[in-house]
């Protein structure tokens, strides 16, 4: 079943995957979601604050 949106925790994972070098289409395929939803997270149009949480997990 295809997803239509990310949870906040998944959005944090999107940031971590992006920073590790995964491209948006790969992330979208893993989650079975439209690549536009990945882009919304990375452009900070959805799940505001997920970038900061991901950054804190990355440096921990």
Given a contact cutoff of 8 angstroms between Cβ atoms, the answer to whether 41 and 15 are in contact is yes
Instruction: Please check whether residue 1 lies inside any domain of the structure.
Output: no
Task: Please compute the mean of the pLDDT values over residues 29-58 and round it to a whole number.
Answer: 96
Instruction: Please check whether residue 17 lies inside any domain of the structure.
Output: yes
Instruction: Please check whether residue 54 lies inside any domain of the structure.
Output: yes
Q: Is residue 1 predicted with pLDDT exceeding 80?
A: no
Residue 60's pLDDT band (cuts 50, 70, 90): confident
pLDDT tens digits, residue range 6-41?
999 999 999 999 999 999 999 999 999 999 999 999
Instruction: Please check whether residue 42 lies inside any domain of the structure.
Output: yes
Residue 42 tokens read as: 């990375």
Q: Nearest Cα to 26, choosing from 10, 40, 17, 59?
A: 17
Count of the separate structural domains present in the chain: 1
Is 0.95 surpassed by the pTM of this model? no
Q: What is the residue range of 33's domain?
A: 8-59
Instruction: Please check whether residue 2 lies inside any domain of the structure.
Output: no
């Amino acid at each position: 079943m295809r997803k239509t949106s990310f949870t906040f925790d998944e959005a944090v994972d999107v940031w971590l995957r992006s920073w590790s070098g995964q491209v948006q289409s790969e992330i979208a395929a893993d989650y079975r979601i439209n690549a536009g939803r990945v882009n919304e997270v990375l452009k900070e149009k959805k799940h505001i604050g997920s970038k900061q949480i991901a950054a804190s997990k990355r440096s921990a």
